[in-house]
Amino acid sequence: LKEATIVKIKQAQDLKELNQIRVETLGKKGPITEVLRGMKDLSAEERPKVGSFANEIRDLLTQEIEERKAVLETAAMNEALEKETIDVTLPGRSVKQGTRHILTQIMEEIEDIFVGMGYQIVEGYEVESDHYNFERMNLPKDHPARDMQDTFYISEEILIRTHTSPVQARTMEKHDFSKGALRMISPGKVFRRDTDDATHSHQFHQIEGLVIDKNVTMGDLKGTLEVVMKKMFGEDRQIRLRPSYFPFTEPSVEVDVSCFKCGGSGCNVCKHTGWIEILGAGMVHPNVLEMSGIDPEEYSGFAFGLGPDRVAMLRYGVNDIRNFYQNDLRFLSQFKGE
């Protein structure tokens, strides 16, 4: 039994087989246990002899099994390691990296320009009241110019803002003029009940600008916008102001920038006039100042509203505004940014 079992142990190919041999020889139903169990039938003389012999064999076999087990375990471990080795020479799979949305890039670029000129950035509310969106911007309930901005109303008094101008009123009423002038811009989403097409989107963006101080003039407005437009569209740009109408400014102007080269195949920025309309602006209406608790005799200011969507379309020759909102990566990933 001893010799045969040792041979079997040595030949065991894996841990499972080895365990089976252990159970067969040393287990409860195995021959050695049987011998030890049968001792009670032996004479007192035979008992110690048989007992120690059986124990000796049991110890020997146990040791053999342990040794073989160690060998098999090492082998199994080596095999596992071999299998799990990573082949570092395989070519990698590249991880797709996103880009910041082109409109985000443009808004951050414009924010940087204004922050450099000492403006603070103010966040407004996308859900606004009729009061701030219209009344406080000098657009009372029956004002015909309300038709210029078809509005998504949530209730009679609550709406989603049609422009970023309400942030003007919210900022003016809070500003402490004993600490100096108010200079702010406010970028964000705005909403209008338009049917979407190549040039209309029910959601788009604006950047509102506002400066209030003593003795602010139209010259300050023009000078400021000229600096900004040069930074955005190139140092050789010029701007011109055309008279216009907004209820919250008096006088009101539309601002054009001189033609610039844009990129992209659909680029047709400079068709005939040599000028491109880029934003609306004006001197803050005395009514607007007064409603925000500012004395129009003492203070004056200018304001402007700029469309980042339009800037992006002009600059990159994008001829359909819907591209910005459809999240097609083939479009968006063209604008890698820095």
Nearest CA-CA partner of 129 in 155, 157, 106, 152: 157
Cβ neighbours of residue 329 closer than 8 Å, sequence gap 6 or more:
none
Q: Which is nearer to ligand DAH, 165 or 323 (CB)?
A: 165
The least distance separating ligand DAH from the CB of residue 249, rounded to whole angstroms, comes to 4
Q: Which is nearer to ligand DAH, 306 or 312 (CB)?
A: 306
Task: Name the β-bridge partners of 186.
Answer: 208
Task: Tell me how far, at minimum, the Cβ of 289 lies from ligand DAH, in Å.
Answer: 13
- Work out how close the CB of 147 gets to ligand DAH at its nearest, in angstroms, rounded to a whole number: 12
Q: Tell the residue number behind the tokens 């199994």, with chain if given.
A: 76
Alpha-carbon span 162 to 336, nearest angstrom: 30
Give the residue closest to ligand DAH by C-beta. 305
Nearest residue (CB) to ligand DAH, 17 versus 254: 254
Q: Which residues 6+ apart lie within 8 Å of 219 measured at CB?
A: none
Residues near ligand DAH (CB under 6 A) are 163, 165, 208, 246, 249, 280-282, 303-305
By C-beta, is 61 or 303 nearer to ligand DAH? 303
The answer to whether 183 and 120 are in contact (CB under 8 A) is yes
Q: Which amino acid is at 166?
A: P
Q: Which is nearer to ligand DAH, 30 or 280 (CB)?
A: 280
250 marked among binding-site residues: yes
No. of helices (H) and no. of strands (E), the chain: 11, 9
With beta carbons less than 8 A apart as the criterion, state whether 285 and 71 touch: no
Sign of CA dihedral 192, 194, 199, 201: positive
Report residue 142 as tokens: 């029956």
Q: How far is the CB of 303 from ligand DAH (least distance, A)?
A: 4
Q: Which is nearer to ligand DAH, 168 or 323 (CB)?
A: 168
Please, what is the minimum distance in Å from the beta carbon of residue 107 to ligand DAH?
16
Q: How far is the CB of 242 from ligand DAH (least distance, A)?
A: 13
SS3 at position 143: coil
Across the chain, the runs of DSSP E, i.e. the strands, are 120-121, 127-129, 158-160, 182-191, 203-213, 239-246, 249-258, 275-284, 300-306
CB-based burial of residue 181 (10 Å sphere; 0-12 exposed, 13-18 middle, 19+ buried)? middle
Sign of the CA dihedral with 246 first, then 249, 254, and 260 last: negative
Query: Contact 127/158 with Cβ under 8 angstroms?
Result: yes
CB of 282 to ligand DAH, least distance (A): 4
Q: Which CB, 30 or 247, lies closer to ligand DAH?
A: 247
Provide the annotated binding site: 250
Binding-site residue numbers for Mg(2+) are: 250
